[in-house]
């Protein structure tokens, strides 16, 4: 038996809202399987499970916010029905039908048992999240014979959303057939509400049966915009991380411009030979060069934790990806140094698409061991990055510009790029930082070795 916990989906995440279970008690799960959807300040994220087994019980009901580390589900090891039947089959291969039916009995009994935890769940969850109801309202509900299950679904209008007398009276007056339940909202409305920081309870639904739609949420926001600014949760997360960075990390900055012509020419020639969908963008080249350069500069790759630097063996380059709706995320390309450009290109494209579609996975949200930002698309020459804690360095690339460049005494037009570094001075110094940037340049001069 093991526990499946609310994961930390970022250094600054303290709690998450369990939105949806994609499994139920009794389901077998495999390592890497998506089992739940969790809402964080950064958006709705699909959560993977990290071991094989069978779901024994779900401990948290959807819609509940719980701190990181809370037990979400209990998992039994993979020795339950299926394995047991295999064991029986192997140990008694010569016995004909009798054991087989015994096996199926075992399975069906197990399945029947599994109904129990499922039923117990409802009860358990009621006590796990105690109903917020005033003493008077509870007494009145008892008089009216409203069950705990009904109460649990009413919307409170008292302080902190508690159920108070008027809510009970209103529920009691609701004509039969009309649900007195909390206003329903479509999944897209929930997503929108989270992005825009809107309290769904306060949105009047215009869809069928009073369903709250994404349009309703947007309407509320546009009304609100005139009154007071709404703090977007993602903006708040960025604000927290960046404030922490600037408060805690003594940044030093270095920038270095170099001739990018050899790498670009090589890449263009290579792309000529590739089918359209496999062509590489130069950003992938940059990311790979940074990953390889890090091997000689371990002080740039790791985390500052509890007052000390923890270097990391694995090199996961975080990509700063801006979202169309505003804000940004920094998911990682895992083991960037180990992968060839073709693989990196595919993963890069996939990450950008899913980031912008709001479909990142938990393990990806955690970010990299260092982050790279490429503001080249915006036409700026230099980037002065802000380190993403607990990382200790960030590398930036500016736009590629055609510049007069002196090569062996001759002035030639060359495409030039600037690489910059924000380093954590608690961990590294400018001297090493400069050597690190020089190393990146050197690697990009021999792009064929990056393949």
Partner 1 sequence: MSAMIQTTYREAIKTAIREALQQDSRVFLMGEDVAHYGGCYAVSKGLLEEFGPERIRDTPLSESGFVGAGIGAALGGMRPIVEVMTVNFSLLALDQILNNAATIRHMSGGQFSVPIVIRMATGAGRQLAAQHSHSLENLYAHIPGLKAIFPATLEDARGMLWTALQDPDPVIIFEYAGFYNNTGEIAEDAGPVDIDRAKVRREGHDLSIFTYGGSLFKCLEAAEQLAQEGISAEVVDLRSLRPLDQTTILASVRKTHRALVVDEGWYSVGIAAEVIARISEKAFYDLDAPPARVCSVEVPIPYPKHLEDAALPQVGRILTAAREVLGQNV
Q: Which is nearer to partner 1, 163 or 217 (CB)?
A: 163
The least CB distance from residue 228 to partner 1, in Å, is: 12
Q: What is the nearest approach in angstroms of partner 1 to the Cβ of residue 180?
A: 18
Please give the helix or strand (H or E) that residue 167 lies within, else none: helix 165-173
DSSP 95: -
Among 164, 198, 220, 417, binds partner 1 (CB under 8 A): 164
SS3 content of the chain, % helix, strand, coil (to 5): 45, 25, 35
Nearer of residues 124 and 132 to partner 1, judged by Cβ: 132
Nearer to partner 1 by C-beta: 183 or 447? Answer: 183
Strands (E) located in 184-342 = 251-259, 302-305, 308-311, 317-319, 321-322, 328-329, 332-333
User: What's the CA gap between 378 and 331, in Å, rounded?
Assistant: 20
Cα–Cα distance, 245 to 394 (Å, whole number): 12
Site string for partner 1, 382-411 (x = CB under 8 A): ------------------------------
Whole-angstrom distance, CA of residue 390 vs CA of residue 310: 10
CB of 166 to partner 1, least distance (A): 8
CB of residue 156 to partner 1, shortest distance in Å: 8
Choice from 15, 61, 68, 162 touching partner 1 (CB under 8 A): 162
Binding residue for partner 1, selected from 159, 229, 275, 307, defined by CB under 8 A: 159
Contacts of residue 312, Cβ cutoff 8 Å, sequence gap at least 6: 301, 302, 303, 369
Task: For partner 1, give the closer residue by CB, 163 or 249.
Answer: 163
Question: Which one, 156 or 389, has the nearer CB to partner 1?
Answer: 156
Nearest distance from residue 169's CB to partner 1, in Å?
Answer: 11
Least separation, in Å, of the C-beta of 165 and partner 1?
5
Q: Which residue, 140 or 414, is less far from partner 1 as judged by CB?
A: 140
Q: Are strands 71-76 and 2-5 parallel, antiparallel or unpaired?
A: antiparallel
DSSP category for residue 174: S
Stretch of 12-20, 157-165, 227-235, 279-287 lying at the interface with partner 1 (CB under 8 A): 157-165
Q: What b/e sequence results for 317-347 when a residue is b if at least 16 CB atoms lie within 10 Å of its CB, and e otherwise?
A: bbbbbbbeeebebbbbbbebbebebeebbeb
> Based on CB atoms, which residue is closest to partner 1, 228 or 324?
228
Residues in the chain: 451
Task: Tell me: does residue 158 bind partner 1 (CB under 8 A).
Answer: yes
Residues in 127-156 that interact with partner 1 by CB under 8 A:
134-137, 139, 156
Task: Show contacts with partner 1 in window 79-138 (CB under 8 A).
Answer: 134-137
98 versus 226: smaller Cβ distance to partner 1 = 226
Q: How far is the CB of 113 from partner 1 (least distance, A)?
A: 41
Which of 157, 179, 231, 305 contacts partner 1 by CB under 8 A? 157
Place of tokens 């994961």: 7
- Total residues binding partner 1 (CB under 8 A): 12
CB nearer to partner 1: pick between 169 and 402 = 169
Cis peptide before 380 (omega within 30 of 0): no
**CB of residue 151 to partner 1, shortest distance in Å:** 15
Q: How far is the CB of 362 from partner 1 (least distance, A)?
A: 33
Distance CA 442, CA 230 (A): 47
Residue 391 is classified by DSSP as B
Q: How far is the CB of 174 from partner 1 (least distance, A)?
A: 19
Neighbours of 350 (CB within 10 A): 14
Of positions 61, 68, 165, 270, contacts partner 1 by CB under 8 A: 165
Given the complex with partner 1, which of 106 and 134 has the nearer CB atom? Answer: 134
φ/ψ of 20, rounded to 5, equals -160, 140
Residue 288: name the closest of 342, 348, 341 by CA. 341
Smaller CB separation from partner 1, 139 or 174:
139
Q: Which residues contact 127 (CB under 8 A, 6 or more apart)?
A: none
Q: In what order do the strands lie in the sheet with 34-40?
A: 43-48, 34-40, 15-21, 64-67
* Of residues 341, 250, 241, 346, the one with CA closest to residue 291: 341
In the complex, what is the shortest distance from the CB of residue 157 to partner 1, in angstroms, rounded to a whole number?
Answer: 5
Footprint on this chain of partner 1 (rule: CB under 8 A): 134-137, 139, 156-159, 162, 164-165
């Amino acid at each position: 038996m093991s526990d499946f916990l609310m994961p930390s989906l970022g250094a600054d995440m303290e709690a998450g809202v369990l939105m949806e279970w994609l499994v139920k008690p009794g389901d077998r799960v495999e390592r890497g399987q998506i089992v739940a959807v969790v809402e964080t300040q950064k958006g709705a994220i699909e959560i993977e499970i990290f071991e094989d087994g069978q779901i024994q019980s779900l401990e948290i009901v959807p819609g509940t916010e719980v701190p990181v580390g809370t037990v979400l589900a209990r998992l039994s090891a993979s020795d339950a029905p299926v394995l047991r039947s295999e064991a029986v089959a192997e140990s008694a291969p010569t016995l004909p039908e009798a054991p087989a039916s015994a096996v199926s009995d075992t399975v069906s009994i197990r399945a029947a048992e599994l109904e129990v935890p499922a039923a117990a769940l409802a009860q358990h969850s009621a006590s796990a999240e105690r109903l917020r109801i005033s003493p008077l309202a509870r007494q009145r509900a008892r008089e009216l014979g409203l069950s705990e299950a009904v109460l649990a679904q009413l919307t409170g209008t008292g302080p902190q959303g508690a159920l108070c007398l008027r809510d009970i009276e209103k529920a009691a007056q609701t004509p039969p057939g009309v649900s007195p339940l909390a206003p329903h909202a479509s999944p897209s409305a929930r997503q929108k509400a989270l992005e825009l920081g809107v309290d769904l309870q306060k949105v009047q639904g215009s869809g069928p049966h009073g369903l709250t739609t994404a349009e309703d949420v947007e309407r509320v926001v546009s009304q609100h915009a005139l009154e007071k600014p709404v703090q977007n949760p993602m903006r708040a997360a960025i604000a927290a991380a960046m404030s922490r960075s600037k408060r805690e990390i003594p940044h030093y900055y270095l920038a270095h411009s170099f001739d990018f012509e050899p790498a670009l020419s090589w890449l263009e020639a290579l792309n000529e030979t590739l089918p359209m969908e496999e062509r590489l963008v130069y950003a992938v080249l940059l990311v790979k060069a940074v990953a390889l350069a890090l091997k000689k500069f371990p002080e740039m790759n790791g985390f500052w934790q509890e007052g000390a630097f923890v270097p990391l063996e694995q090199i996961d380059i975080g990509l700063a990806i801006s979202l169309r709706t505003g804000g940004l995320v920094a998911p990682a390309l895992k083991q960037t140094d180990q992968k060839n450009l073709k693989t990196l290109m595919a993963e890069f494209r996939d990450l950008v698409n899913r980031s912008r579609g709001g479909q990142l996975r938990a393990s990806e949200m955690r970010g990299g061991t260092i982050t790279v930002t490429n503001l080249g698309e915006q036409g700026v020459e230099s980037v002065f990055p802000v380190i993403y804690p607990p990382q200790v360095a960030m590398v930036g690339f500016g736009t590629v510009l055609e510049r007069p460049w002196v090569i062996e005494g001759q002035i030639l037009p060359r495409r030039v790029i600037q690489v910059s570094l924000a380093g954590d001075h608690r961990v590294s110094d400018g001297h090493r930082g400069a050597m690190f940037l020089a190393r990146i340049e050197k690697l990009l001069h021999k792009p064929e070795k990056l393949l």
